[in-house]
Chains A and B, each alone.
Chain A
C-alpha cells in the first residue's frame, strides 16, 4: 500500500528546504552586518569566489564529491537509527590510507596503467579503513550501548591526532622536509575534468554513482529495507526477525566507508600530499547536506552542490579577509536547525488538517 501525498504535503516537502536555506542565508547576512562588515562587499567576494569564472565554478564543483560522500556517511547511519558524527574521522582514515597507497604503491612494482590500478587500490583502501573506523563506533554501540555521537566525536579527535603523528617529525611517514607532511603523491586523479584548468576530477562521477547505489540499496534491496526498519523501530524489527545488531554494524561500516571515500576524493584531487588537518570540516558539512536533502538521494545531490557553493564562497571571503570562512558553519547550523524544526510545523499542519476534516465530517 502506497501512501498518497496530497499537493499540500508535496508543496511543504519541497518548500521546506528552500525556505530553510533562504532564511539561513539572511541570518548569515545579518550576522555579517552585526559584526560591522559590509554585506555588499562580502556577498560580492562570495559570488565572485564561488562562481566568478568557469574555472571557479569547476573548483566549486570539485567540492561536490567529498560533500556527497560525507553526507552519505551521515545519511546511511541515520537510516539505521544511528547518528554518525564521525565522518570527519572517517575522512581522515580514508584519506591517510589512500594517500599512503598513492605514495608507496607505485614503488612496489604494481603496474601503473595510467595510475588507474593504483587509484582503484587507493579507493578500496580508503573505503575499508574509513569503514573500519566507523565500525569501531558501531561495535561500541551494539556491544556496550555506548552513545554513537560521543564515541564518533572522540574518534574524530583521535583520528586527527593519529594523522598528525603519522606525518609529524617523529612519525613513520614524515618526509624529512622540515614541515610536518608526507611525501608527494605519485599518482592522483587528473584535474580539469569537464572544465579545463579547474580542480574538478572524475570523483564527481563517483559521487553520483554513490548516490545511485544509496538509492538502490535502501529502496530496492532487502538489506536496505531491513536497515530502514531497524532505524524506524528497532524493537519491531527484532520481533520481525531482523538482526538489529548486524544491521547496525553493517550500516556503520558502510557509513564509515563513504566517509573514507570523501577523504580519498578530496586528498587525491585537490591536494598533493598528506598534511595535518587536511579535512577543513568536510565531516560536519555532510550532516547539513544530508539533513537539507532530507536523506533523499536527489536531495543530497542538490544540497551538496549548494553547500559546495557556500564552502567555496566562504573560503573566498576568508581569503579576502572580509569575514572568517567559519561563517559557513554558522549558516549550516541555521539550515540544520530550520530543517529539523520544520518537522514541528509539518506535524502541526497535519494535526490542524485532521481536526478540520473531523469538524466538517461532524457538520454534515
Chain B
C-alpha cells in the first residue's frame, strides 16, 4: 500500500516532466531541465549520507555527529585526491576512511560508554570543525588538482562497440544518444548527463532499501532499534549491529562529504555548512527509509537549486536571503512531518547488557 503510493507519486512526477519536455517552449524547457540536473547533483550526496543514517537511526542511534563526519570526509577526500594525483576514486576512499575513524570514536562513546548521544554528536561536530580547519591551514598550500568524477557520457563513449551507439560526438565532447530523440532530446540530455557517481549513488540507495527491508541483516538492524532486549535474548549481538550501523553511516557520510568537495573542486573551512544536519532531517522527512530519504533530499536539493532557477529567470534577489532557503525548508519539513512517522522505539536509548 505504502509502496504503491510512492510509485504513483513517482509516476506522476515522471509524466509531468515528460509533458513539460514535449509541450513547453524551448527556453522554459531548458531552464527546467537544468534545475532538475542541479537538484540531482546537489541531492545525491545528501541522499547517500541520509541512506547511511537511516541504518544508524533504525538501529537506535541518533547520529547528530553526521555533520562532523561529513566534514572530515570532505577534507580528507581533498587531501587524498591531491596525494593520488587527482584520482577521485582513491581520494574518496581516503575520505571515507577518515570519517570511519570519527564514526568509531562516536560509536565507542555512545554504545560502549553509553554517553548522551545528542551531546556527543554535537561534540563530534565541534571536534571535526576544529580538526579539519586546523589541518586545512597547514596543508592549504599543497598543490591541488581536483578533476572530479567523469560524466556518464564520457564513460559510455569508451565502451568498445557500444560507445558509438550510446553517445554522439559533439564539439564539446560526447553527448548521450538521447539527444537524437525528436522534441525532447536536448531536454533529456541536460537531465541525464550527470557525473557517474549520481548513477552509482542511486543504485546504492535502491540496494540499501532492499537490504533493509528484504534481508535478514536488515531485519536485525530494524529489530535492534525497536526491542534490543528481545534481540539479545534471541542471540543477536546488539552492540555488534549498532557498531556496524554507526560505522556504516560514517562511511556513507564521508562519501557524501567527499562528493561535495569533488563537486565544487575545492575545500573551504566548514564546507558542509549544515548539510550533515539536513541529511539527518532527510532521514526523518523520508520516514526512515533509504528511498524516502532520496525523495527528501531531492526536495532539499531543490530548495538550494531554486537559487540557480531564480538567476536563470533573471529575477534579482539578495543572495544572502536566497542562501537561507534550504535551511528554512528543512525546518518546515521537520515540523510538518514529525509525529506522522514512526521513530524507532529504542532511539537514543543506550543498551545495557545484563
A334 contact from B127, B135, B138, B331, Cβ within 8 A: B127
B274 partner residues in chain A, CB cutoff 8 A: 153-154, 156-157
B127 contact from A150, A156, A333, Cβ within 8 A: A333
A151 partner residues in chain B, CB cutoff 8 A: 331, 334-335
The interface bits of chain A over 55-88 (1 if a CB of B lies within 8 angstroms of the residue's CB, else 0) are 0000000000000000000000000000101000
- Pairwise interchain contact A157-B338, C-beta atoms closer than 8 A: no
Q: Contacts A35-B134, A326-B129: A344 and B113 contacting too (C-beta < 8 A)?
A: yes
- Pairwise interchain contact A165-B320, C-beta atoms closer than 8 A: yes
Interface of B is mostly: helix
Which of the 9-residue segments A141-149, A183-191, A203-211, A263-271 touches chain B?
A: A141-149
- Pairwise interchain contact B126-A288, C-beta atoms closer than 8 A: yes
Across chains A and B, the number of contacting residue pairs, with CB separation under 8 Å, is 144
B120 part of interface (Cβ distance < 8 Å): yes
How far, in Å, is A172 (CB) from chain B's closest CB? 11
Bound CA span A37–B280, Å = 37
A155 contact from B137, B331, B338, Cβ within 8 A: B331
Which of the 9-residue segments A100-108, A218-226, A245-253, A335-343 touches chain B?
A: A335-343
B327 part of interface (Cβ distance < 8 Å): yes
The interface bits of chain A over 160-171 (1 if a CB of B lies within 8 angstroms of the residue's CB, else 0) are 011011001011
A316 part of interface (Cβ distance < 8 Å): no
How far, in Å, is B107 (CB) from chain A's closest CB? 13
How far, in Å, is B112 (CB) from chain A's closest CB? 8
A327 contact from B67, B122, B130, B284, Cβ within 8 A: B130
B173 partner residues in chain A, CB cutoff 8 A: none
B114 contact from A154, A171, A337, A344, Cβ within 8 A: A344
A146 partner residues in chain B, CB cutoff 8 A: 331, 334-335, 338
- Pairwise interchain contact A149-B64, C-beta atoms closer than 8 A: yes
A326 contact from B109, B134, B320, Cβ within 8 A: B134
Q: How many residues of A contact B (CB 8 A)?
A: 49
Bound CA span A37–B273, Å = 28
A31 contact from B129, B134, B136, Cβ within 8 A: B134
Minimum CB distance partner of B120 in chain A: A340
A118 part of interface (Cβ distance < 8 Å): no
- Pairwise interchain contact B334-A324, C-beta atoms closer than 8 A: no
- Pairwise interchain contact B135-A168, C-beta atoms closer than 8 A: no
B268 part of interface (Cβ distance < 8 Å): no
The interface bits of chain B over 266-284 (1 if a CB of A lies within 8 angstroms of the residue's CB, else 0) are 0001000110011011001
A122 part of interface (Cβ distance < 8 Å): no
- Pairwise interchain contact A336-B130, C-beta atoms closer than 8 A: no
B116 part of interface (Cβ distance < 8 Å): yes
- Pairwise interchain contact A337-B120, C-beta atoms closer than 8 A: yes
How far, in Å, is A14 (CB) from chain B's closest CB? 21
B82 partner residues in chain A, CB cutoff 8 A: none
- Pairwise interchain contact B321-A83, C-beta atoms closer than 8 A: no
B134 partner residues in chain A, CB cutoff 8 A: 31, 35, 323-324, 326-327, 330
- Pairwise interchain contact A83-B118, C-beta atoms closer than 8 A: yes
A329 part of interface (Cβ distance < 8 Å): yes
Bound CA span A134–B228, Å = 35
Minimum CB distance partner of A321 in chain B: B137
A157 contact from B109, B122, B324, Cβ within 8 A: B324
Minimum CB distance partner of B105 in chain A: A337
A140 part of interface (Cβ distance < 8 Å): yes
Q: Contacts A150-B280, A323-B134, A344-B115: A158 and B127 contacting too (C-beta < 8 A)?
A: no
Q: Contacts A144-B335, A324-B137: A341 and B131 contacting too (C-beta < 8 A)?
A: no
A336 contact from B119, B269, B273, B277, Cβ within 8 A: B119
Q: Contacts A158-B324, A168-B320, A337-B123: A144 and B135 contacting too (C-beta < 8 A)?
A: no
- Pairwise interchain contact A150-B277, C-beta atoms closer than 8 A: yes
The interface bits of chain B over 332-348 (1 if a CB of A lies within 8 angstroms of the residue's CB, else 0) are 00111011000000000
A170 contact from B116, B269, B318, Cβ within 8 A: B318
How far, in Å, is B292 (CB) from chain A's closest CB? 17
B323 part of interface (Cβ distance < 8 Å): yes
B136 partner residues in chain A, CB cutoff 8 A: 324
A329 partner residues in chain B, CB cutoff 8 A: 126-127, 129-130, 133
How far, in Å, is B329 (CB) from chain A's closest CB? 9
How far, in Å, is A352 (CB) from chain B's closest CB? 15
B116 partner residues in chain A, CB cutoff 8 A: 340
How far, in Å, is A97 (CB) from chain B's closest CB? 18
Bound CA span A324–B281, Å = 31
Q: Contacts A154-B277, A340-B115: A324 and B133 contacting too (C-beta < 8 A)?
A: yes
- Pairwise interchain contact B126-A145, C-beta atoms closer than 8 A: no
The interface bits of chain A over 339-364 (1 if a CB of B lies within 8 angstroms of the residue's CB, else 0) are 01101100000000000000000000
Bound CA span A263–B123, Å = 22
B119 contact from A83, A153, A157, Cβ within 8 A: A83
- Pairwise interchain contact B133-A165, C-beta atoms closer than 8 A: no
How far, in Å, is B124 (CB) from chain A's closest CB? 7
How far, in Å, is A15 (CB) from chain B's closest CB? 18
B81 part of interface (Cβ distance < 8 Å): no
The interface bits of chain A over 37-66 (1 if a CB of B lies within 8 angstroms of the residue's CB, else 0) are 100000000000000000000000000000
Bound CA span A85–B273, Å = 15
User: CB within 8 Å of A: which of B54-111?
Assistant: 64, 67, 109
- Pairwise interchain contact A336-B331, C-beta atoms closer than 8 A: no
Give me 29 A-to-B residue pairs in the complex whose CB atoms sit less than 8 angstroms apart, sorted by A's number. A35-B134, A83-B122, A140-B331, A143-B335, A146-B331, A146-B334, A146-B338, A147-B280, A149-B122, A150-B277, A162-B324, A287-B126, A324-B133, A324-B134, A324-B137, A326-B129, A326-B137, A326-B269, A327-B130, A327-B134, A330-B134, A332-B130, A333-B130, A336-B122, A337-B109, A337-B123, A337-B127, A341-B113, A343-B115
Chain B residues with CB under 8 Å of chain A are: 64, 67, 109, 113-116, 118-124, 126-127, 129-131, 133-138, 269, 273-274, 277-278, 280-281, 284, 318, 320-321, 323-324, 327-328, 330-331, 334-336, 338-339
The 6 A-B residue pairs with the shortest CB-CB distance in the complex, in nearest-first order: A329-B130, A330-B130, A333-B127, A326-B133, A165-B320, A324-B137
Chain A residues with CB under 8 Å of chain B are: 31, 35-37, 83, 85, 140, 143-147, 149-151, 153-158, 161-162, 164-165, 168, 170-171, 284, 287-288, 291, 323-324, 326-334, 336-337, 340-341, 343-344
Question: Beyond A154-B330, A287-B123, A336-B126: 12 further Cβ-contacts under 8 Å?
Answer: A35-B138, A83-B119, A140-B335, A144-B339, A145-B338, A149-B122, A150-B277, A151-B331, A161-B324, A171-B318, A327-B134, A332-B130
